[in-house]
Amino acid sequence: MKKEKVIFIILEFGTAIRNVLRTDIFKILKAQKDIKIVIFSPIVDESFRREFESENVIVEPNPKHRDFLTRGIESIKKYVWAKGTGVATLKIKRKHKPIVKPRYALMGKILMGIVGDHFKLLNILNRLQVFFFKDSKADYYFDKYKPDLVFYTTMYAKDPCIEIEAKKRNIKTINLIHSWDNLTIKGPFAAVPDKTVVWNEILKEELIKYHNFPENDIYISGIPQFDIYFNKNEFSTKEEFFKKWGLDKDKKLLTYASAVPGIAPYNQDIVEILYDALKNEQFNYPCQIVVRLHPKDNYELFKKFEGLDDIVIQKPGRPADVRDKWNPTHEDMKTLAELMCYSDVVVNIASTITIDAVAFDTPVVCIGFDGYQQRPYSRSCKRYYDYDHFKNIVNSGGVRISYSKEDLIKHINVYLAEPSLDIEGREKIRKGQCWKLDGNAGKRTAEFTLQYLEE
């Protein structure tokens, strides 16, 4: 008789390492004496194994799957989902780049004409995908470990090998939606889970509306990686934080969180605009700048700011061979929390960092212009503020969007003078996006997982 239960945890991104392995999700699951955990990770070096492997935890490499038929069905699904749901985000994205290759779009159009209802067609395509799926690596891992539940952390896996095999074998599955934009920007599920964990009511409504997911199979947890934000007693003091990063405690702190270079290839322009404004005394208070680079950003582009007064370049986490190039440490998560807490204004380009800052009631200014460049709407960052997930932020009145460098300086000065401005809007964002900031989102997710495992 099999005495222990086995859980597969599938990771693809550094964000998943942060959301799962560095929260109470993993801590609580690992503490169960009758459960074995197999982590499938893109990082499998000795350092990673030493950190996470134990008597009941094993690390395996993510298996790759390049089956032409599976990929073809996925592309057709994406076309059908985009056309059927009419999500505004993908309509905007189509103006810049087609969603799928023309042959898959044509097949999707023909099938929609035959079947009619797009959700019905998606169900058929999902069943076909599972039926035709065959992978020896997936067979090997399932036969070796005999999992009772598969917990995966992205709905749009590049290689949904384990996820589809779990559906084929009728193994229980849970998907943690790991970011607020996934349900309206990434298309349909690569493999439809039995249960889904989401951050908030907004995502729950999107999951029902755009993915026809049963309401009873959705669980709201809050944001696991935000649990660290709850207990400020574990933070360094503001004086300690400023000293560590060489900051001046008598100056206001402006933080610019750079965006993915593919989204904003002009990150360095924004930094230059901010720094020139600082040096030309265009801010109404003495200021200093911290530039927190996106893990994918090219540090070489910011070297010209090294050694200059009143500017610090901060590189997050450790570089890693994952899709977002990031293996975040606990210290890095703590540093981000402290940075958001002690900043006077946070500047970003339509980023999740907006929610991080608002969690501490820190004012946020968003960039709606393309640095020194002039770009058409279809390629400009202006379009991001019309994306479905960010409309909720815009409509809240909790942030200010700058459509020129003059706007940027003006909005920063307004917040420096009156930090309480737009406080009601920030509270609306906090309640809508964070759901509960009580430090227990990871615990709730783990307990839900264990409950479903035992059902």
Per-residue pLDDT tens over the stretch 110-154:
999 999 999 999 999 999 999 999 989 999 999 999 999 999 998
Of 126, 155, 170, which marks where a domain is finished?
126
C-alpha count within 13 angstroms, C-beta hemisphere, residue 56: 17
* 21 DSSP assignment: I
CB-count burial class (<10 Å; 0-12, 13-18, 19+) for 421: middle
Of 78, 94, 126, which marks where a domain is finished?
126
State how far the alpha carbon of 256 is from the alpha carbons of 37, 87, 270, 314, 412, in Å. 38, 30, 8, 10, 12
Angle at 38 (CA atoms; ends 34, 41), nearest 5 degrees: 155
Is 290 in the same domain as 319? yes
Return the pLDDT at 2: 58
Is 152 in the same domain as 53? yes
The two structure tokens encoding residue 204: 């729950």
State how far the alpha carbon of 112 is from the alpha carbons of 40, 108, 130, 322, 326, in Å. 36, 6, 20, 36, 39
Instruction: Name which of 12, 36, 306 is nearest 176 in CA terms.
Output: 12
229 CA to centre of own chain: 17
Angle at 305 (CA atoms; ends 299, 311), nearest 5 degrees: 110
Is 72 in the same domain as 59? no
CB 174 within 8 A of CB 196: yes
Return the pLDDT at 239: 97
Return the pLDDT at 68: 82
Is 179 in the same domain as 259? no
Is 25 in the same domain as 112? no
CATH number at residue 314: 3.40.50.2000
Q: How far apart are CA 78 and CA 94, in angstroms?
A: 12
Is 77 in the same domain as 167? no
The two structure tokens encoding residue 177: 């939606």
Q: How far apart are CA 329 and CA 401, in angstroms?
A: 31
pLDDT tens-digit profile, the chain (455 residues): 457 999 999 998 888 899 999 999 999 999 999 999 999 998 888 989 999 999 999 999 999 877 788 889 999 999 999 999 989 898 888 777 788 899 999 999 999 999 999 999 999 999 999 999 998 999 999 999 999 999 999 888 888 999 999 999 999 999 999 899 999 998 999 999 999 999 999 999 999 999 999 999 999 999 999 999 998 989 999 999 999 999 999 999 999 999 888 888 889 999 999 999 999 999 999 999 999 998 888 888 898 998 899 999 998 877 777 776 778 888 999 999 999 999 999 999 999 999 999 999 999 999 999 999 999 998 899 999 999 999 999 999 999 999 999 999 999 999 999 999 999 999 999 999 999 999 999 999 999 999 999 98
Domain range holding 169?
5-65+133-226+439-454
Is 336 in the same domain as 412? yes
Is 221 in the same domain as 235? no
3-state secondary structure of 249: coil
Q: How far apart are CA 369 and CA 51, in angstroms?
A: 42
Angle at 426 (CA atoms; ends 423, 432), nearest 5 degrees: 145
69 CA to centre of own chain: 28
Q: Which helix (H) or strand (E) holds 16?
A: helix 14-16
Q: How far apart are CA 157 and CA 71, in angstroms?
A: 11
Instruction: Name which of 440, 423, 443, 442 is nearest 431 in CA terms.
Output: 423
3-state secondary structure of 357: helix
Instruction: Name which of 409, 251, 428 is nearest 354 in CA terms.
Output: 428
Return the pLDDT at 261: 82
Per-residue pLDDT tens over the stretch 426-455:
999 999 999 999 999 999 999 999 999 998
59-66 contacts, C-beta under 8 A, 24 or more apart: 60/141, 62/10, 62/11, 62/12, 62/159, 62/161, 63/135, 63/137, 63/138, 63/141, 63/159, 63/161, 63/162, 64/137, 64/159, 64/161, 65/135, 65/137, 65/138, 65/159, 65/160, 65/161, 66/159
What residues contact 240, with CB distance under 8 A and at least 6 apart? none
Q: Which residues pair with 198 in a beta bridge?
A: 220
Is 218 in the same domain as 108? no
Q: How far apart are CA 47 and CA 43, in angstroms?
A: 9
Is 60 in the same domain as 122? no
- Neighbouring C-beta atoms of residue 119, cutoff 10 Å: 16
Q: How far apart are CA 380 and CA 46, in angstroms?
A: 42
Of 90, 110, 126, which marks where a domain is finished?
126
Is 362 in the same domain as 309? yes
Is 80 in the same domain as 172? no
Return the pLDDT at 64: 84
3-state secondary structure of 365: strand
DSSP per residue over 167-227, as a string?
Answer: HHTT-EEEEE--STTHHHHS-S-SS--SEEEESSHHHHHHHHHHH---GGGEEE---GGGG
CB 81 within 8 A of CB 122: yes
* 324 DSSP assignment: T
Q: How far apart are CA 432 and CA 428, in angstroms?
A: 6
3-state secondary structure of 448: helix
Counting the structural domains of the chain, the total is: 3
